[in-house]
Amino acid sequence: MIKRFNSIRVLIQSYFQGNSRTNLLVKNVFSSLILRGLGTAINFLFVPLVINFVNAERYGIWLTLSSVLTWFTLLDIGFGNGLRNKFSEAVALDDIKEQRKLIHTTAAVLICISAVIFILNVVFTDQLKWDEFLGVDASYRTELQQLVFLLISFFSLQFIFQIYNPIQYALQKPAMIARTILVGNALGLIGILYLREFSEPSLFNLGFVVMGSNVLSIFLFTAYFFIVQRRDLIQKIERPTLETLRGIFSLGIKFFFLNIAYMVQFQTSNFLISKYFTPEKVAEFNIAFKLFSVAALIFGIILSPVWSSVTNAQVNNDYRWIRKLINKLLLIWAVIAVGSIIVLLIAPTIYNLWIGDIITIPFITSLGVLLIVLSNCFSEIFISVLNGMGKVNLQFYMSILVIIFFVPIAYFLSVTLEYGIFGICMAIVITNVNGLIVAPYQVYVEMRKNRKLPA
C-alpha cells in the first residue's frame, strides 16, 4: 500500500515538476488527498447515521441551522484572509518580527470579537424564535434555542483558534488543516455512534458532539503548533499596532465582501429551500451536494496551496511559474469534469447503496448540483491566483452585484417559475459570472501586463 501511495506521489510530482515551491505544493497536495479522502469517507458514513439517529426532518433542520450559523464566520471581517496574504509575504521575506506582529495583531482582534459574540449570545439567543426564522414547527422552539446557544458558545471558542488555518495556508501547508478536520470528523463519528446506542434523538446532543469535536481538534493542534512547532512566534509578544492593523484590514475587508457573496450563494440556499419548500428538501439538496462535492473536494485540495504559492511567486517575480500552473490546473479540471459526468449517470445506484430508500434524490437535483460544482471548480482556479496576487478590487465590486441579485434570481427561478431546487442551483451558476468570465479575463490581463503571455 505504501509503495502504491509513493507511486502516485511520484506521478503527481512529475506532472508538477519544478522548483522547491512546486515540490512543497505537491507534498501538501498529496498529503491532503489522503487526509481529506479519509475525512470524506467519514462524512459519507456520518449522513445515514445522523438521519437514522434524529430522522430526516431533524437532519434537514440541522443542515439549515448549520448553514445559517456559518454566516458567523464572516465576523472576522476578513482578518483571516488578510493575515494569510500578509503572513505569506512575511514568510517569503523571512521576516520573523513581522510574522509575530501580524499574528499577535490578528489574535487580539479575534479575541475581542469572540468576547462580543459570546456576550450577545447570552443576552439575545433565548429572545429569538428560531422555529419561525427557520420555518419549522413550533414544537422545536425550546430544542432549537438550546441548540443555538450551545453552537454559538462553541463557535466563540473556535473563532479564536481559527487563526491556525490562515497561518498554515500562508506556510503552504494546507495538509495540516486537513489533519485537523479529519481528527474532528473522526471524533464526531465516534460520538454519533455513542449517541445512537445511549441517547434519545436530540438535536442538542448532535450539536454537542459535532461542534464539540471540531473545537477540541482545532484547539489541540493550535496549541501544539504554537507551543511545540513554532514557539518562536509567541516567545516575544509584539504589541499590536495601528499600522499592522490597517495593513491586514485594508486587504481583509475586500475578502470580507467576497466571502459574503460566497455565503449568499451557497449558505442561503439551505435557508431558501427550507423556507419555501420543506426541511426534507434541504436534506435532498445536501445529500446530492455531498456526493458531487467529492470532485470539488479533490480539486480544492489541489488548489489549497495555490493561493499562498502564487503570493510567494509574485514576491519573487516568477510569473512564468504561475502561467504553467494555470495550464496544468485547467487540464486537471477537464479530467475531473469527465469523471463527474460519469458519476451523474450512475448516481441513482450510488444513492441506493449509500442511504437506501430513506430519501429520494431526483435526477434534476443531481444535475443542478453537478453544474454548481463544475462551474465553481473552474472559477476557483482564477480566483485563487488573483487572491494570491492580492488583486481583489474587481472581485470586490462583482461581489456587491452577487449580494444584491442572488436571492431575487433564486426566488424567481425556484418559486415563481417553479423550478424548485434546480432553480436555486441555476441561480448559483448564473451569479458566478465573476469566476466564470471576469476572473479568467483579469488573470489573462495580469499575465500579459507582466509580459509572460504572448501578445
Residues with Cβ within 8 Å of 181's Cβ and at least 6 positions away in sequence, in order, are 35, 36, 39, 214, 217
Look at residue 452 and tell me whether its pLDDT is greater than 90.
no
3 inside domain: no
- Residues 435/380, Cβ–Cβ less than 8 Å: yes
- Residues 428/373, Cβ–Cβ less than 8 Å: no
pLDDT at residue number 347: 92
Residues with Cβ within 8 Å of 260's Cβ and at least 6 positions away in sequence, in order, are 74, 399, 403
Mean pLDDT, range 44-72, rounded to an integer: 78
47 inside domain: yes
**Most confident of the ranges 25-34, 293-302, 386-395, 409-418:** 409-418
Tell me the three cell numbers of residue 341.
459526468
Residue with the bigger pLDDT between 426 and 248: it is: 426
**pLDDT cut 90: percent of the chain above it:** 17
- Residues 64/274, Cβ–Cβ less than 8 Å: yes
Residue with the bigger pLDDT between 243 and 118: it is: 118
Mean pLDDT, range 362-374, rounded to an integer: 94
**pLDDT tens per residue, range 108-157:** 888 888 898 889 888 887 777 777 777 777 777 888 888 888 888 888 88
Closest CA to 204 of 146, 131, 137: 146
pLDDT at residue number 390: 78
Neighbours of 197 (CB within 10 A): 7
307 inside domain: yes
Look at residue 333 and tell me whether its pLDDT is greater than 90.
yes
- How far is Cα of residue 105 from the mean position of the Cα atoms in its chain? 24
346 inside domain: yes
Give one word for 328, left, alpha or beta, with left for phi > 0 and alpha for psi -120 to 50.
alpha
**pLDDT cut 70: percent of the chain above it:** 90
E strand residue ranges, 171-270: none
Residue with the bigger pLDDT between 3 and 405: it is: 405
Residues with Cβ within 8 Å of 203's Cβ and at least 6 positions away in sequence, in order, are 54, 58, 61, 62, 140, 143, 144, 147
- Residues 331/109, Cβ–Cβ less than 8 Å: no
pLDDT at residue number 316: 77
Which pTM was predicted? 0.64
How many domains, in total, are found in the chain?
Answer: 1
pLDDT at residue number 57: 77
- Residues 28/248, Cβ–Cβ less than 8 Å: no
Residues with Cβ within 8 Å of 58's Cβ and at least 6 positions away in sequence, in order, are 201, 203
Give Rg (Cα) of the chain. 22
pLDDT at residue number 11: 46
Mean pLDDT, range 40-47, rounded to an integer: 80
Residues with Cβ within 8 Å of 141's Cβ and at least 6 positions away in sequence, in order, are 129, 130, 131
pLDDT at residue number 368: 94
Look at residue 39 and tell me whether its pLDDT is greater than 60.
yes
Mean pLDDT, range 391-420, rounded to an integer: 85
Residue with the bigger pLDDT between 76 and 60: it is: 60
421 inside domain: yes
Look at residue 331 and tell me whether its pLDDT is greater than 80.
yes
**pLDDT tens per residue, range 184-236:** 989 988 998 888 888 887 888 888 988 899 999 999 999 999 999 888 888 88
294 inside domain: yes
Look at residue 24 and tell me whether its pLDDT is greater than 80.
no
User: Can you give the residue range of the structural domain that contains 213?
Assistant: 23-449
Three-class secondary structure assignment of 103-152: HHHHHHHHHHHHHHHHHHHHHHHHHCCHHHHHCCCHHHHHHHHHHHHHHH
Neighbours of 91 (CB within 10 A): 20
